[in-house]
Amino acid sequence: MSEFPQTVGAGRYAPSPSGDLHLGNLRTALLAWLFARSSGRSFLMRIEDLDRARDAGSAEPQLNDLRAIGLDWDGDPVLQSDRREDHEQAIATLQARGLVYECTCTRKDILAAPSAPHSPPGAYPGTCRDRTEEERAEARDRIAPRLPALRLRVPEATAAPTFVDQILGQTQGEIDDFVLKRGDGTIAYNLAVVVDDAAMGVDQVVRGDDLASSTPRQILLQRLLELPSPPDIKYAHVPLVLGPSGARLAKRDGAVTLRDLKAAGVKPDLVRAKLAQTLGLARPGETPTMAQLLERFDPPSLPREPHTWSEDLIASGT
């Protein structure tokens, strides 16, 4: 696999270039920076642009927004799309061990199929797992010109890995035969993130708690590929920012991006201050520097509940 400069350790932020970062994204990025810098790690940036169908060409504006609120990072941002060779090599390694199989199921097929007792909704029922080569060839013909996806054949009797999260505590999740590469050729998130974090020397992963359920899958891949895994990898899944309706923050909730707020006369330093306020790192009316935030940062004191964003929070400080 490709080599990156190795350090004592590294944290990272890895946005998808599918549009402007909203305040929830910026808050998570700020936390990732604080976790890394406060622990003496490097802080790296990776643009997760594998899904070209969702690539809005917004990587550079995203990086500009992160700089504007005070974040810096070590080295140049890594484009995930440049890492294809390593992703394919990881799949080949699993294939050589008999741990990959073709799947022709659609999402509709999976939802309609009977599931195993106690399986979570949407878990893959194993429809394509034990097909013969003849059956696989027939299935390929049926879906042509679409290609099959590739799934991980989770070894029998594999228990879902547990891990200690710095925010959530002891955490575990269900594992099914998940996708490694989609039928359109796109490498799946769970595979790419594991391979890339290992290659970049990342040993601290800070991201939204909506991704916590994916972590056991990633830990399993780390172990199967003989890559670092917990306790050598530290995870912190941080609470999301919600809109007034209680749903995840989105454009419909008003001025929620730095561009929106700039148009309304709100400066990035104030945005950073308000984000810090939601984390208990700043007092109302205060505009702390990044150095001050770093001095105050204390992971055990971080809020454990999602924050509901209100435009009043910004308006009250202008």
Instruction: Specify the pLDDT at position 184.
Output: 93
Q: What is the pLDDT of residue 288?
A: 96
pLDDT value at residue 244 = 86
- The answer as to CATH 3.60.90.10 being correct for domain 85-190 is no
Binding annotation: 12-16, 48, 103, 105, 124, 128, 189, 207, 251
pLDDT at 315: 59
The pLDDT of residue 2: 35
pLDDT of residue 116: 57
- Could you report the per-residue pLDDT of 250-281, keeping only the tens digit for each? 777 777 899 999 998 999 999 999 999 999 99
Q: Which strands form 149-152's sheet, in the order they lie side by side?
A: 100-103, 149-152, 179-181
Query: Read out DSSP for 7-36?
Result: -S-EEEE---SSS--BHHHHHHHHHHHHHH
* Binding site as annotated, residues for Zn(2+): 103, 105, 124, 128
| DSSP letter (8 states) at residue 64 | H
Please list the ranges in the chain whose pLDDT falls under 50: 1-7, 317-318
Characterize the bridge pairing of strands 204-208 and 234-238. parallel
pLDDT of residue 4: 40
Tokens 């702390």 correspond to 288
- Strand ordering across the sheet containing 78-79: 10-13, 42-47, 78-79
Distance CA 116, CA 106 (A): 18
pLDDT of residue 134: 96
- Extract the annotated binding site for L-glutamate: 12-16, 48, 189, 207
Report domain extents, the chain. 85-190
Detail the residues annotated as belonging to a binding site for ATP.
Answer: 251
- Residue 318 has a pLDDT of 43
Per-residue model confidence (pLDDT) at position 149: 97
Go through the chain and tell me how many residues it has.
Answer: 318
**Bridging pattern class, strands 162-165 and 169-172:** antiparallel
- For helices 189-199 and 84-96, give the axis angle rounded to 10 degrees: 110
Cβ pair 291, 231 in contact under 8 A: no
* Residue-wise pLDDT tens digits, 171-226: 988 899 999 999 999 999 999 999 999 999 999 999 999 999 999 999 999 999 99
What pLDDT score was predicted for residue 238? 97
Cα gap 92→122, rounded to integer Å = 27
